Chains A and B, each alone.
Chain A
Amino acid sequence: MIEVVCNDRLGKKVRVKCNTDDTIGDLKKLIAAQTGTRWNKIVLKKWYTIFKDHVSLGDCILCVISRGRIYIPILVLFVKY
């Protein structure tokens, strides 16, 4: 399980728990549920690298080394509305 931090630099910061094998699209849905926007309006980036919806989180988050415990990698992603 991963907790992902999403920050839009305008005041909305959200931490979302999800699995490693979830896709970005799922993550977006979770974010949308928490922030109140539409999930297809969210754009997740890692400093201009936009993450596409079909990619799984495990492939995106490269610094994760699953340790068999609750591990929270801090991935600052920008959410655009």
Chain B
Amino acid sequence: MGSSKKHRGEKEAATTTAAAGTGGATEQPPRHREHKKHKHRSGGSGGSGGERRKRSRERATERGGGRRGAEAETRSGAHGRERSQTEPSERRVKREKRDDGFEPATSSKSGSGDASSLSIEETNKLRAKLGLKPLEVNAVKKEAGTKEEPVAADVINPMALRQREELREKLAAAKEKRLLNQKLGKIKALGEDDPWLDDTTAWIERSRQLQKEKDLAEKRAKLLEEMDQEFGVSTLVEEEFGQRRQDLYSARDLQGLTVEHAIESFQEGETVVLTLKDKGVLQEEEDVLVNVNLVDKERAKKNVELRKKKPDYLPYAEDESVDDLAQQKPRSILSKYDEELEGERLHSFRLDQGGMADGIRERELEEVRAKLRLQAQSLSTVGPRIASEYLTPEEMVTFKKTKRRVKKIRKKEKEVVVRADDLLPLGDQTQDEDFGSRRRGRGRYRVPEADEAQEEEEEKEPVPQPPQSDDTRVENMDISDEEDGATPPSGSPEVLEEDEAELELQKQLEKGRRLRQLQQLQQLRDSGEKVVEIVKKLESRQRAWEEDEDPERKGTIVFNATSEFCRTLGEIPTYGLAGNREEQEELMDFERDEERSANGGSDSDGEENIGWSTVNLDEEKQHQDFSASSTTILDEEPIVNRGLAAALLLCQNKGLLETTVQKVARVKAPNKSLPSAVYCIEDKMAIDDKYSRREEYRGFTQDFKEKDGYKPDVKIEYVDETGRKLTPKEAFRQLSHRFHGKGSGKMKTERRMKKLDEEALLKKMSSSDTPLGTVALLQEKQKAQKTPYIVLSGSGKSMNANTITK
């Protein structure tokens, strides 16, 4: 592709130049690209034409027109125009096509829609604006060939290339050889000839020369020695030389050498032999002293450390570790690879001027380290320790014993708990110290103002008085209770108040008693009169009370158990039917008759509305009277045809009617309505359904006597649709299906059917024979063969029933 492109490019270049030469005018007509007149091109340009065709098909075309022409001209300005002029005609034709297909390198920006391009000058201007260097317009060489004779492109000859490469290599090799030879040229090779080897004379001469030189050297040495001896310095010189030889290599000479061990590994007093460390022959580094044993030891130590398998990575290690010398050493990442990457860090020290190394500095460092370690404070806090339940002696010191204020016990009654000690300071109180002293006398009352002097005297009295007075007080108290307040208690001042109250009470009581006594006496005197009076009083009082009560009654409602009971009784059917009342009734009847005849049956005044039913009575009584008047043995039958009345009479006489009057006694309804309207009487007899009444049997039940010994054998059989008797389980299933209204599902019914079928089959099966009926077959076969045995041989077909029957 590249080459083809190249060719195409060449052709284009050629065409442009050609086109330029002929002028722009000719470019106008060949605008049509559709002309495909390429086919009959000349052979030389056939290829190019074909390419052009390709191009024309490929490319979208645009015409630069004048632009192109101008550019082509400029381009071709540098080249020879002779090319263009040689074949104008052909070029013209071809140019058309070329122009058609030519992807315009010179199309103007303005002219076409595709592939706009700038000319070189414009591009250069643009580049200058952008800050780029101008276009390198390569000096175009002359075209080697014309259109007719197109220049064959330089063939890339791979062979040539290879050869060139080889040459280069050879040259390089030769050069190297040369250099080496130059270097090594000085050394005589074995095969090399010296002039004197072949030529004896030359050799002889050379040997002579050598000899001469030797002799000369010897002479010189001798001369020098003689000179030394003359001066007498020879011995000195020898000594010097000898010393120098000795001094040549001493400790001083070890100055600056490094020893590749840590100074600490050398202990005082021991001799360690150091040797030069092995190093490569060509290495120019300085010598290092080393002890083999120490090296081995160190290596062994390192191996042991490695074998311990310490963790490479400590996730919680700090980023920076503090050195012994309290210097911060930052922890690097992946420090385990440092040795591998950078090489082993070796401890070494240099020998100083005298060839000695002292560990003073190291010792100093150690001291510093130790000091810092002591100073160091560990950040770890003291761990928690179990708190002791008891205080330590130190803490005990901190406690101060606080004195507790002794509370004063509250004194109870001073008469009972009184201490001698307490009483003494009580002298300040305004108390009378008169504990019933005799001086005061038996008077109950003390006059405090008057007896102040006495008090003072009493105070001076000895101490033991108080306990005594206690007793006296108590005693006095007792005495005062018993007496009717007559004897005043010679009590203490404290008790004085109480005594006064008591005395007053007693006074009052006495008064009352006396009065009562007097009254009683008086009462006894006018007893008789008083009785009457009292009776009257009582009556009046009672009436007063009643009168008082009545108005109350009128307003209030009094429930009485009996009244309530009676009210709720209702009708009393047997009221008035007791025997005692008959006479009264009769009497009353007669009275009533009279009355009735007079009044027409009005009620008696005396009685209240008891509810006598008097409707039929009058007539009946009249009738009775009538009948009573005519007392013949056989009553005359009333004439039935006379009317209803007569008939009724007849019935009555015959006893068909109940003539007794039912006197129903009713309880008098109270005038007042029931106080409480918020209650109802639940009547359970109201349930009067027709159907419920139907259910109940109100008759007489009795066992049938003729069926005494009857014991029926009850057998309830359930049958399914086919007529089979059902087991209880199946029967229940049937029942439940009917009850619920749905039967079993598909599977269940299928199973049931299957079971039934199997049962049927089972039943059909013969008990004595196999399912296939083998025995029967055998028997038949026997009959046929008329032998008691059967030969079991041959195919199964022979045992078929068909064959047997045959």
Residues on A facing B (Cβ under 8 Å): 1, 3, 5, 7, 11, 13-20, 22, 26, 29-30, 33-34, 63, 65-74
Contacts and interface: CB of A to CB of B under 8 A. Distances in A.
Contacts of A26: 130, 132
A73 to B, nearest CB: 7
Contacts of A22: 132
B8 to A, nearest CB: 9
B51 to A, nearest CB: 14
Given A70-B13, A70-B140, A30 B123 contact: yes
A65 B127 CA distance: 24
B703 interface: no
A23 B117 CA distance: 19
B12 to A, nearest CB: 7
Contacts of B133: 19
Contacts of B258: none
Nearest to B156: A65
B75 interface: yes
Interface of B: 1-2, 5-6, 9, 12-13, 75, 103, 105, 107, 109, 113-118, 120, 123, 126-127, 129-130, 132-133, 135-141
B141 A33 contact: no
Nearest to A33: B126
A30 B105 contact: no
Nearest to A23: B132
Contact of A68 (B9, B118, B127, B139): B139
Contacts of A63: 1-2, 5
A17 B132 contact: no
Contact of A15 (B115, B120, B137): B115
Contacts of B115: 5, 7, 13-15
A38 to B, nearest CB: 13
B138 A70 contact: yes
Contacts of A17: 117-118, 120, 123, 135
A52 to B, nearest CB: 18
A69 B140 contact: yes
Contacts of B114: 11, 13
Contacts of B9: 71-73
Contacts of A33: 126, 129-130
A13 B139 CA distance: 28
12 contacts: A1-B120, A3-B117, A7-B115, A14-B115, A15-B105, A15-B107, A17-B135, A19-B135, A34-B109, A70-B75, A70-B105, A73-B9
A6 B248 CA distance: 83
Contacts of B137: 1, 70
B138 A1 contact: yes
A72 B132 contact: no
Nearest to A39: B130
A10 B140 CA distance: 35
B119 to A, nearest CB: 8
Nearest to A66: B138
A18 B135 contact: yes
Given A30-B130, A33-B130, A68 B117 contact: no
A14 B140 contact: no
A71 B13 CA distance: 8
Given A34-B117, A66-B138, 15 more contacts: A1-B136, A1-B138, A3-B117, A17-B117, A17-B118, A17-B135, A18-B135, A19-B135, A33-B129, A34-B118, A63-B2, A70-B105, A70-B138, A70-B140, A72-B9
Contacts of B103: 74
A77 B719 CA distance: 101
Q: Which 7 A-B pairs have the closest CB atoms?
A: A15-B117, A63-B2, A13-B115, A69-B140, A13-B114, A17-B123, A1-B135
A30 B127 contact: yes
B138 A68 contact: yes
Contacts of A13: 114-116
Contacts of A1: 120, 135-138
A29 B132 CA distance: 10
A16 B117 contact: yes
B721 to A, nearest CB: 86
A69 B127 CA distance: 21
B13 A69 contact: yes
Most chain A beta carbons < 10 A, residue from B13, B118, B141: B118
A68 B140 contact: yes
Most chain B beta carbons < 10 A, residue from A3, A22, A70, A74: A70
Contacts of B105: 3, 15, 70, 72
Nearest to A6: B115
Given A17-B120, A19-B136, A68-B138, A30 B13 contact: no
A33 B193 CA distance: 79
A58 to B, nearest CB: 12
A5 B60 CA distance: 14
A26 B129 CA distance: 12
Contact of B138 (A30, A69, A72): A69
Nearest to A18: B135
A66 to B, nearest CB: 7
Contacts of A68: 138-141
A13 B140 CA distance: 27
Nearest to A35: B116
Contacts of B123: 16-18, 30
B592 to A, nearest CB: 143
B329 to A, nearest CB: 43
A1 B117 CA distance: 14
Nearest to B141: A68
A34 B114 CA distance: 12
B226 to A, nearest CB: 83
A3 B117 CA distance: 9
